[in-house]
Structure 1
């Protein structure tokens, strides 16, 4: 009877042991599955060193390539205006006509004086030549010969004076045609027909402005200038032999129009009020989108940075103290926080000067779900 009771008890204990073993195996499998689920996938960018062209954005002010104030060169009454205000004019194009009646009369008188002087030269020259022959034959005295020679020389001098007056009279007639000294856009006329004009008057008749090309005067701080020169001296930034940097100016709120040119020179003195150096650039302005006095922002090429490390701005954050840091995936496949030294931005990237090496992976996607020390899977982001 006792042997029959022991057998069911042994079967119950064996069943309980098997159930505990099965539960242990299930917990172990669930733990391994959870651990695998914790290794989430993050998007990374592999840091590479390359040469990049550096640009800096600076404020500037546009100024005209040429400006000419048109003034009269003879006195007289303004007879007519021969241009449309605000239009384009060419150099040599007639703009105004001054009453030329008086100057034409002076021209006719000067022509008559030249004709009279030529006749006097012809007469005195013949007498002088006859006097030379007579003096050889001792038919006249030396005094008579000297007087004939002096009369001839005086007649030639009178002819030269008359010719000079004729040239002046012709110029005065030409000056009654007020012409454009340069090509460009002409402004409004300051005086109307019937106005009395005088040489040297303070008020110009009009103003012509040449807009293509156009100058851009750019202000750069002395600290940035010295920093750039130090980088060039160290060899980190390389410029061309002539140091003619390229300049790009964008116009409009959306910057939909841009024009390019080159940097001409920089001032040798510093403005004591702003502590800035003025740079002058010359740019194309074929459609006259940039006008004198307009405020612009210019992108100035400063050289080429050798072996630069670029990191997307989305992968760089700041701590409460303002220090830049990035999350990277180390060789063990774990997340690591790394503090960086950043210099400036190029497009959407930071230039990193310290804290990273070429080949390291910076996390740019999935930053909200990770923390230092967490194992992760990586996926390269293009």
Structure 2
């Protein structure tokens, strides 16, 4: 039997369920759509920027002098404090001299005796020459005097050599610094016997006003450096931590590359190179691990991005760029040069592209963004200026 009230109730229930379902669907859709992600971006441009290639390496003193005893004897004096800075010619050690002074006096006395004998032989020779000429004396006697005179001349020459050796040995008892630098701790104490049996090591001097920074770029990097370099003498610098109140700051020490090995290490496919660094303030010690920055060229156009913006997966390297509608786009790129401060992009980016540099763990392809352009403060030019890689007058 047909009941109008029941039909009306059923229609109302159906409409209610439909409205509720639509509302839930809209709520669920709204919940699945995340809000725009706040990120920082930089706008890239292709321009001439100085290309610096960066490597890790170790410093070494430009001169490492071992100070050894060249004569034997008892050590009498030490003139320096352990670890002090000494100048070339400064006194370091004194070995007892009595024996060597005695040897020198003996050598000089022997020369005086031989000079007296030489004078007598010369007088005898001069006296006999006219007698032999006039036939009043045999020639054999004159020849004996001439031979004696020549023998004594040779003896005096030997005496001169003996005196020089004695003076040299005496000078070796006074040990001075061959170069300026920092002296190590003494290896022997006053009163010790030195120089017996072997050349005793007394101390060492490291010359660090000028310091070497050794690094090992790959063979391909070395080929690129020499292919694209725009200067014959390649500038280089290292950064070291400051001292005193500036301990948190980094100090730049400049120099130049002055050596590259002529062979490739077969185990690592690298080539050893060296930069000579001005270290007059002795800001860095030998044996310190450092970053060496080597200038290559400023004559080519590059597009550069911060290193953290470049990702790599099974499909290759990519960055996240921002479309006109503020949506993320995965952009495949090919890189060339890179350092701690930038990565060069060979292919994939163009002038004016906006590259995401923050919030990268949350960014996905197609994600709606709320981008903030920080090119002026965090762009490549700003970063390179901060590390003194380019002049201040260069702009983005």
TM-score (norm 2): 0.71
Separation in 1, partners of 2:267, 2:290: 21
- For residues 66-145 of structure 1, what are the structure 2 equivalents within 5 Å? 66-145=63-142
Q: 1:43 to 1:127 in 2, by over 3 A?
A: closer
Write out per-residue CA displacement over residues 140-172 of structure 1, whole angstroms, 9 at most, x where no aligned residue: 121111111111111111111112111111112
Q: Which of 288, 296, 299 is the aligned partner of 2:282?
A: 288
Report the Cα offset of residue 289 of structure 1.
2.1
Separation in 1, partners of 2:60, 2:357: 47
Residue segments in structure 2 that go unaligned for 5+ positions in a row: 1-38, 242-246, 377-396
2:145 corresponds to 1:153:
no
Separation in 2, partners of 1:125, 1:63: 62
2:293 corresponds to 1:299:
yes
- For residues 1-382 of structure 1, what are the structure 2 equivalents within 5 Å? 48-198=45-195, 201=198, 203-226=200-223, 228=224, 233=227, 237-240=228-231, 242=232, 244-252=233-241, 254=248, 256-304=250-298, 306-310=300-304, 321=315, 323-325=317-319, 327=321, 337=329, 339-343=331-335, 344-345=337-338, 350-358=343-351, 360-362=352-354, 382=376
Separation in 2, partners of 1:46, 1:122: 97
Q: 1:44 to 1:84 in 2, by over 3 A?
A: closer
CA contact (8 A) 2:111 2:160 kept: yes
Report the Cα offset of residue 108 of structure 1.
1.2
Larger Rg belongs to: 1
Residue segments in structure 1 that go unaligned for 5+ positions in a row: 1-41
CA contact (8 A) 1:263 1:279 kept: yes
Aligned length: 329
Write out per-residue CA displacement over residues 169-218 of structure 1, whole angstroms, 9 at most, x where no aligned residue: 11122111122222211111111111111256254011111111011111
Runs of 4+ in structure 1 over 6 Å off: 42-46, 312-320, 333-336, 363-369, 378-381
Q: 1:141 to 1:219 in 2, by over 3 A?
A: same
Separation in 2, partners of 1:202, 1:168: 18
Q: 1:313 to 1:264 in 2, by over 3 A?
A: closer
Q: Report what 2:391 is aligned to.
A: none
CA contact (8 A) 1:329 1:363 kept: no
Q: Report what 1:34 is aligned to.
A: none
SS in 1 for 2:50: strand
Q: 1:255 to 1:265 in 2, by over 3 A?
A: farther
TM-score (norm 1): 0.73
SS in 2 for 1:85: coil
Separation in 1, partners of 2:113, 2:239: 67
Q: 1:71 to 1:361 in 2, by over 3 A?
A: closer
Separation in 2, partners of 1:195, 1:379: 72
Separation in 2, partners of 1:381, 1:275: 38
Separation in 2, partners of 1:92, 1:302: 40
Report the Cα offset of residue 91 of structure 1.
2.1
Separation in 2, partners of 1:193, 1:216: 37
CA contact (8 A) 1:61 1:217 kept: yes
Q: 1:151 to 1:317 in 2, by over 3 A?
A: closer
CA contact (8 A) 1:315 1:327 kept: no
Q: 1:346 to 1:180 in 2, by over 3 A?
A: closer
Report the Cα offset of residue 261 of structure 1.
0.7
Separation in 1, partners of 2:374, 2:169: 81
Q: 1:356 to 1:81 in 2, by over 3 A?
A: closer
